[in-house]
Amino acid sequence: MATDFGQFFLHSLPNLMSGLGYTLFLTFISITAGFFLGIVLALGRVYGNKIVNGFCVGYIELIRGTPLLVQLFIIYFGLPSIGIIFSPIQAALLGLSLNSGAYQAEYLRGSIQSVESGQMNAARSLGMNKFQSIQYVILPQALRIAIPAWSNEFIYLLQYSSIAYIIGVAELTAEGKFIAAHTFRYLEVFAIIAIIYLVLTIVSTEIIDRIAKHLSIPGIGAAKRVSLRDI
Amino acid sequence: MSMLEVKDIYKSYGDVQILKGVSFIMEKEETKVIIGPSGTGKSTLLRCINQLSPPDKGQIWLDGEEITNRKTNINKIREKIGFVFQDFNLFNHLTALRNVSIGLEKVKKIEKDAARKRAMQELTRVGLEAQVSQYPAQLSGGQKQRVGIARALAMDPDVILFDEPTSALDPELIGDVLDVMKSLCGKVAMLIVTHEMGFARNVANEIIFMEGGVIVEQGSPKEMFTNAKMKRTQEFLGRIGALYGEEETGG
Ligand SMILES: Nc1ncnc2c1ncn2[C@@H]1O[C@H](COP(=O)(O)OP(=O)(O)OP(=O)(O)O)[C@@H](O)[C@H]1O
Ligand SMILES: [Mg+2]
């Protein structure tokens, strides 16, 4: 039984690795693109005029108020009817990035607003313009504060990226489905896949925690991720 | 023309009028102290001068340039107006050295090494050469405020505005900060809001007493303490003298 499982695992490995590659690719690209989109949206919400702020709120609420799956379907199945055609992987990257951007915008907005207003006053008093004040004083502090929430977003995205399988991206879950359909060993396949996700989650959490520690401001300490153990 | 001219400044927050026509002038390298009861608009006046809260009405000139004019580049003007805050507002994520050098690097566009060398000089001037690589959270209140002063000084301002620079400090730390400020007298113009009467008496060229959004009276420390014309000034100085012990600090 054990050797049989071992052989089965080895046999499935190429498919699983290929799927893992897509999963990581989707996650890294979307979290990064979503991060930059999130910063723009968050700055628009905090510092923008009424129109900019309204636009950002509208976007964020639209994304957060609709299921990710529906968003993916609109991009992949809906847009072609007006002549905009994406490959599955393009559609998944776009959908996950646009979605993550909205969520990251809200975390970032919270952390920007938690930087004391005196910091902006001090920066402006030195003669920095608003943009410089944000760049050199507000964001360096806000981004540190955002790391724990951002760590959670990374984990969500890692797991939600599995939804891309529905529009035909051969990521980890899709590969699992493929292997299981050919071998009928559903339990083993998805147990392996669950373990892979679990290991990825634990490892990435640990890495982000170390980054947070490394970036922590001496005398203040790293912002802490609230984990279930702390509650 | 005087270095700083403040002319008929009005400022409201919502329906509440805070400043109701404040005018005064300051000469180069003069030290002026503003005193007055809480809520009178002293902080508001300082914030009007560097345009953190632009006044509703009135004009302010610095070096003959009208800074209340909308066409003036306010960022350029702020380089020439230092501001020292009651609660320090040091940049939390930067060392003492970088707190002082960042304005030189990013605003004055001075090359990094030169900026840091200058920052080092300013920190030495305020007695913090041993703390240059410390972060704000690792400094005492008195040290933080001295970094705040060094940060303002490094920009070579025409005038530094101080908003109750010692009010957030433990009593035993106040002296160090006042000593630093005293050492600057006659080197850079200072406009200081404070309750430190001993300091005001010994160091100011002139004292302004504000109440209810207007200047009630101004004069030399001697005139104000021994010979105030207005009854309100006498009452206030009497009260605050009793409260803070006018002779012991900064004397
Ligand atoms: N941003 C603001 N919005 C609304 N009201 C404000 C604002 N800033 C100050 N005020 C009000 O304006 C009045 C004057 O405030 P200000 O801080 O200028 O007084 P102050 O003379 O500096 O007093 P203190 O000695 O307590 O510092 C106060 O009643 C205050 O509540
Ligand atoms: Mg005040």
Q: Could you state, in order of their start, the residue ranges of all structural domains in chain B? A: 4-41+53-76+86-192+206-219
Q: Do A118 and B89 touch (CB under 8 A)?
A: yes
Helix (H, G, I), strand (E, B) or coil at B193: strand
Asked whether residue B28 carries a pLDDT value surpassing 80, the answer given is yes
Which is it for strands B81-84 and B159-163: parallel, antiparallel or unpaired?
parallel
The pLDDT score that the predictor gives to residue B238 is 85
Q: Name the least confident of A6-20, A22-36, B21-35, B110-124.
A: A6-20
The average pLDDT across B73-99 equals: 97
The pLDDT score that the predictor gives to residue A1 is 54
Region for B35 from its dihedrals, namely left if φ exceeds 0, alpha if ψ lies in -120 to 50, beta otherwise: beta
Pick A226 or B23 by higher pLDDT. B23
Q: What is the per-residue pLDDT across B5-14, written as a single tens digit (0 to 9) for each?
A: 999 999 999 9
Helix (H, G, I), strand (E, B) or coil at B119: helix
State the best of B52, B77, B92 to mutate against chain A, taking most chain A CBs within 10 Å: B92
* C-alpha separations of A76 from A84, A173, B33, B154, B208 in Å: 9, 19, 68, 57, 71
Q: Do A124 and B78 touch (CB under 8 A)?
A: yes
- Alpha carbon dihedral B2, B5, B8, B10, in 10-degree steps, equals -170
Q: What is the per-residue pLDDT across B240-250, written as a single tens digit (0 to 9) for each?
A: 767 665 454 44
Q: Which amino acid is at A80?
A: P
Provide the domain limits for residue A211: 2-230
The pLDDT score that the predictor gives to residue A200 is 96
Query: Selecting from 3.40.50.300, 3.40.1080.10, 1.10.10.10, 3.40.190.10, what CATH number does the domain B4-41+53-76+86-192+206-219 have?
Result: 3.40.50.300
The pLDDT score that the predictor gives to residue A8 is 87
Asked whether residue B149 carries a pLDDT value surpassing 70, the answer given is yes
Place of tokens 């919502």: B14
The pLDDT score that the predictor gives to residue A220 is 83
The pLDDT score that the predictor gives to residue B1 is 81
Say which residues have a Cβ less than 8 Å from residue A48's Cβ, sequence separation at least 6. A55, A56
Which is it for strands B31-35 and B159-163: parallel, antiparallel or unpaired?
unpaired
Calpha distance A122→A144 (Å, rounded)? 19
Which ligand 1 atom is the nearest neighbour of the CA of B164?
27
The minimal CB distance from A125 to the residues B50, B93, B134 is found for B50
- Ligand 2 center–CA B103 separation, angstroms: 25
A119 to chain B: nearest residue by CA? B89
The pLDDT score that the predictor gives to residue A6 is 85
- Ligand 2 center–CA A33 separation, angstroms: 44
| CATH number of domain containing A63 | 1.10.3720.10
Q: What is the per-residue pLDDT across A142-182, written as a single tens digit (0 to 9) for each?
A: 999 999 999 999 999 999 999 999 999 999 999 999 999 99
The pLDDT score that the predictor gives to residue A227 is 54
Under an 8 Å CB criterion, which residues of B touch A?
A: 50, 52, 75-79, 81-83, 85, 87, 89-93, 102-103, 106-107, 134-138, 151, 155
Tokens of A48: 């923008």
The pLDDT score that the predictor gives to residue B249 is 43
- Ligand 2 center–CA B242 separation, angstroms: 21
- Ligand 2 center–CA A148 separation, angstroms: 36
The pLDDT score that the predictor gives to residue B251 is 37
* C-alpha separations of A149 from A27, A96, A108, A161, B92 in Å: 16, 17, 9, 18, 21
The pLDDT score that the predictor gives to residue A81 is 96
Angle at B54 between CA B48 and CA B60, to 5 degrees: 60
Yes or no: say if A30 and A157 are a contact pair by the CB < 8 Å rule.
yes
Secondary structure (H, E, C), B6-62: EEEEEEEECCEEEEEEEEEEECCCCEEEEECCCCCCHHHHHHHHCCCCCCCEEEEEE
Using a CB-CB cut-off of 8 Å, the residues of chain B touching A218 are 134-135, 137-138
**Interchain contact A45–B (C-beta under 8 A):** no
The minimal CB distance from B52 to the residues A125, A127, A129 is found for A125
Q: Is the pTM of this model over 0.95?
A: no
Which ligand 1 atom is the nearest neighbour of the CA of B47?
18
Say which residues have a Cβ less than 8 Å from residue B248's Cβ, sequence separation at least 6. B198
pLDDT means over runs of 10, chain A (231 residues): 78 93 97 98 97 97 97 97 96 98 96 97 97 98 94 95 95 93 92 96 95 91 59 48
The average pLDDT across B59-83 equals: 95
Q: How far apart are the two ends of chain A, measured CA to CA in Å?
A: 41
How many domains, chain A? 1
Q: Do A219 and B155 touch (CB under 8 A)?
A: no
